[in-house]
Structure 1
Amino acid sequence: MSSRLIWSISVLARRIWFRATLFSIAAVATALLAIVVTPYIPADLSTKIGADSVDNILGIIASSMLTVTTFSLSTMVSAYSAATSNVTPRATRLVMEDSTTQNVLATFVGSFLFSLVGIVALTTGAYGEQGRLVLFVVTIGVIVLIVVTLLRWIDHLSRLGRVTETTRRVEEATLDAVKAWRKSPNLGGKALDADSLEPRAGDTPFFTDEIGYVQHVDAAALAKIADEIECDVVILALPGKLASPARPLGWLRGALGEDVLDRAAACFSIGDVRSFDQDPRFGASVLTEIASRALSPAVNDPGTAIDVISRAMRILYSWHEAIGEAPEEAVYRRLNVATLTAADLFDDLFTPIARDGAGLVEVGLRLQKTLAALSKLGPQFHSNAVRHSKEALDRAAAVIQIDADMERLRAAAAPIIADGKHIWAPGAED
């Protein structure tokens, strides 16, 4: 099974209607199961169940589940609106893909259909006395499932759509993408050298006919093509890059036919919006969008920006820890892929916050302390921390008019910058 097919299935499984459909099919099948097992139920057992007991219970479930489902849908839409207006529209997709919400709605819809099918089958007399017994037992199980789901839903409603909860989901999605990238760096291929970002003489670029963002790259399929034609492939358009007919997705090392170029271009999934799955920088940019909105004069919530800085620190720590887990050799030796560096994540996570929070000393202090902690992780992290620390100080100096505040910021930056020289100790882990 190709990675593109697996990715497509995972995207489909996160759609809100998918679980509801599965639960509904299971509910209908369960309601009709009683007809199949009726011949295997002893006749004397059915006399212990009242003739109308199942009918009444199913009627209550049908009417109540319809009401609860309508209420839950309205609550869910309100949570989406809150996430869009209070956090960022880019984070709404993660709220929509919340597994608890989808399970709750699927349970309610499935219970409604189960009771509806059961009532119809009872009315037509399809069950018989033994079938009523089976339906009664299953109905008791459905009631237990509904009660447990309602209790989980009540607890979940207190957090759904809140700024902190949505920010946590963005952080988790970014951490997953970071770990996936570090586990298989450069999509499993070799890192592309900086001097190889332009095609050489004899290289054949391939393009897409669509305009949109690269959401997924099927590296395994590209590697298979490369092995078939015995030719190296350069992947320039990483997930998150804007693709268009005027910009090559990559190129093949050699002059090849249109059929091979079309097969290579088909390995790239293009969509209207960016995806969190293979794109750590998208999650980082969404986090900083949350911080920038919180720092806007209309919201004026520096606490959320400080919270985002702490989450950014955890993301970069995860990037650093995953370096040791990365394989020493590329899985696909014929793939040469544009790489993702710590500098990219530093720029995505800290530049907007330093810009929008330049006038707030509390935000600047937390930023400098975070950069000081990250600077101890090795020369690459230290050089980026020094760069962003200096930029943050310059931005603050252009806005802050109180000398005491600037002195506090300079004191916080002192562990990172000492007379402009790096203070990283040789031998520290990179």
Structure 2
Amino acid sequence: MLKIITRSRLFIANLTGKIGFYPSLFALGGLVFGFAMLYAEDRGVSSFLIENAPQLVINDAETARTLLSTFIGGIISLMVFSFSMVMILLNQASNNYSPRILPGLISNKKHQNVLGFYIATLIYCILILLSIKPTDDKNQLPGFAVLVGIVLSMLVLALFIYFIHSISEAIQINKIIESIYNSAKTRLQQLISKTDDALSKEDFPSSEDWDAIEVNRTGYFQTIAVDALLELCNTYDCSVEVSVPKGTFILQGIPIAKCSKALDDKQKEQLLTCFGFSRSEIVSHNYILGFKQLTEIAIKAMSPGINDPGTAITCIDYLSELFALRLKKEDFSFIKNQEKQAVIKLRTIDFKELIYFVFAPLRAYCKHDVIMLHKMLTALYFLQQSHSVIENSETIIIDEANRILEDAKAGITNKEDLKGVFDIRNKMAAINSTQKKLVALDH
């Protein structure tokens, strides 16, 4: 039973990220609503309205057919145009920014809801059109259902205007960057709020001799069914250490976790059902992807084909805020049972590892650009002054600053430009509380 519930949760989590999920629900809703209106017509709703409010009822069969046929053709045209706009958005975002941002754009609920309402109205109009018979008189004609179809079609036009406005905003790089930032920030804040300051690395036993659990499929490790995994730990009286961080692409047969007890094949299969895999990457599931996507957008913006340093600078600004938030989260994560004992240890990306993999490609692609080097050092200067719960975080930041300064000395020949870059270095040295030295200009 637990296995079925866990798989259902993970299946629903992956299903809701598909572009066709919500439109399918709307389509089903349109079908149900159409049958409900036909049932109401059989109960005499149109006859009642003809007697009490005749102005609300369409009482001519040919007029009703013409209106519904026009609405069906018009809605199909709007659907084709709207889907084309979505495809153009995805293509432009992939070419100009980064292919990794596509899952986030596809999962935009606003656009899915608009397209779903189109489909629901289309199905409703077709259903009502089929119910109109040539011999209908005004008392048998589904006049009220036709009126509802007119109202729904007007709403389609209003939603189309909203869709054009929304799609024109969604294609702007600033909106895309802000959306990625907000998703990563929200996820980070959730993790920080769940952090227990009373726990430390020493509270969890060593897993060196524990039984390895090998993954039985290939894909991106996206989610963990925490409640189900906790229940398994309580049932088998064991502890689990997740060996790989979320967002990692895992091949079949690679160990994904370690268990303090030896489990049989059936128990291992139950444990593996707690891990969700996907072929796409969603920032709301893993904040690390937010860092990765913002970095890739910045690098793409600095390429000769795009040549948009303003976008790269904006990405570094948002990355600075995310790093400042990341400094408030420990490099380790535990999940406790009801007895407040840490029974699950999660593998996370260390701050040192994260900051290196963000700034390393930026240094490689921007080491000849004075403004970008200045901006990167300014970001590190800002982080140096931020509150941190991570041990040796200032040393990590200074190490990264030294790498940038070394690249600046190697890539910039103009002395005045180089001096401007090293002015930030001097500010960092002034507040340096560690023994770590910063690279000097003339050494």
TM range (shorter): 0.7 to 0.9
Check conservation: 2:38, 2:145, Cα contact below 8 A: no
CA distance in 2, matches of 1:120, 1:313: 59
Cα distance, 1:143 vs structure 2? 3.0
Q: Which amino acid aligns with 2:271?
A: A
Q: Is residue 2:337 matched to residue 1:337? A: no
CA distance in 1, matches of 2:14, 2:274: 16
Check conservation: 2:37, 2:145, Cα contact below 8 A: yes
Q: SS where residue 296 of structure 1 aligns?
A: coil
Q: Is residue 2:65 matched to residue 1:55? A: yes
Partner of residue 68 from structure 1, selected from 64, 78, 82: 78
- Could you tell me the TM-score, scaled by structure 2's length? 0.84
The more displaced of 149-158 and 249-258 is 249-258
Check conservation: 2:370, 2:417, Cα contact below 8 A: yes
Cα distance, 1:117 vs structure 2? 1.2
| Aligned residue pairs, count | 419
Counterparts of 1:366-385 in structure 2 under 5 Å?
366-378=375-387, 380=390, 381-385=393-397
Cα distance, 1:113 vs structure 2? 1.6
1:401 matched residue in structure 2: 413
Q: Which amino acid aligns with 1:400?
A: I
Check conservation: 2:334, 2:346, Cα contact below 8 A: no
Assess, with a 3 A threshold, how the Cα gap between structure 1 residues 160 and 125 changes in structure 2: closer, same or farther: farther
CA distance in 1, matches of 2:235, 2:97: 47
Check conservation: 1:215, 1:270, Cα contact below 8 A: yes
CA distance in 2, matches of 1:285, 1:208: 25
Cα distance, 1:75 vs structure 2? 1.5
Cα distance, 1:361 vs structure 2? 0.8
- Residues 266-294 of structure 1, C-alpha deviation per residue, up to 9 Å, x if partnerless? 32223334443432212211110111111
Check conservation: 1:69, 1:108, Cα contact below 8 A: yes
Check conservation: 2:217, 2:253, Cα contact below 8 A: no
- Residues 194-229 of structure 1, C-alpha deviation per residue, up to 9 Å, x if partnerless? 9978x433x211101223321112222222121112
Check conservation: 1:177, 1:278, Cα contact below 8 A: yes
1:13 matched residue in structure 2: 16
Partner of residue 187 from structure 2, selected from 177, 187, 196: 177
CA distance in 1, matches of 2:351, 2:136: 66
Check conservation: 1:191, 1:338, Cα contact below 8 A: no
Q: Is residue 2:212 matched to residue 1:200? A: no
Aligned-pair RMSD on alpha carbons?
3.2
2:257 matched residue in structure 1: 250
CA distance in 2, matches of 1:247, 1:240: 15
1:156 matched residue in structure 2: 166
CA distance in 2, matches of 1:389, 1:135: 68
The more displaced of 381-390 and 218-227 is 381-390
Check conservation: 2:221, 2:250, Cα contact below 8 A: yes
Check conservation: 2:94, 2:101, Cα contact below 8 A: yes
Counterparts of 1:203-222 in structure 2 under 5 Å?
203-222=210-229
Counterparts of 1:22-61 in structure 2 under 5 Å?
22-38=25-41, 39-41=43-45, 42=48, 43-45=50-52, 47-48=54-55, 49=57, 50-51=59-60, 52-61=62-71
Check conservation: 1:416, 1:422, Cα contact below 8 A: no
Counterparts of 1:236-315 in structure 2 under 5 Å?
236-315=243-322
Partner of residue 134 from structure 1, selected from 125, 128, 144: 144
The more displaced of 48-57 and 96-105 is 48-57
2:439 matched residue in structure 1: none
Q: List runs of 5+ in structure 1 lacking aligned partners.
A: 425-430
CA distance in 2, matches of 1:208, 1:152: 45
1:225 matched residue in structure 2: 232
2:440 matched residue in structure 1: none
Q: SS where residue 283 of structure 2 aligns?
A: coil
Cα distance, 1:359 vs structure 2? 1.0
1:414 matched residue in structure 2: 426
Q: Which amino acid aligns with 1:200?
A: E
Assess, with a 3 A threshold, how the Cα gap between structure 1 residues 345 and 403 changes in structure 2: closer, same or farther: same
Check conservation: 2:238, 2:261, Cα contact below 8 A: yes
Q: Which amino acid aligns with 1:121?
A: S
Q: SS where residue 208 of structure 2 aligns?
A: coil
Q: Which amino acid aligns with 1:97?
A: S
CA distance in 1, matches of 2:158, 2:98: 32
- Could you tell me the TM-score, scaled by structure 1's length? 0.86
Assess, with a 3 A threshold, how the Cα gap between structure 1 residues 174 and 413 changes in structure 2: closer, same or farther: same
Q: Which amino acid aligns with 1:214?
A: F
Partner of residue 359 from structure 2, selected from 335, 342, 350: 350
Cα distance, 1:73 vs structure 2? 1.3
Q: Which amino acid aligns with 1:76?
A: V
CA distance in 2, matches of 1:390, 1:101: 45
The more displaced of 236-245 and 359-368 is 236-245
Assess, with a 3 A threshold, how the Cα gap between structure 1 residues 105 and 15 changes in structure 2: closer, same or farther: same
Q: Is residue 2:328 matched to residue 1:316? A: no
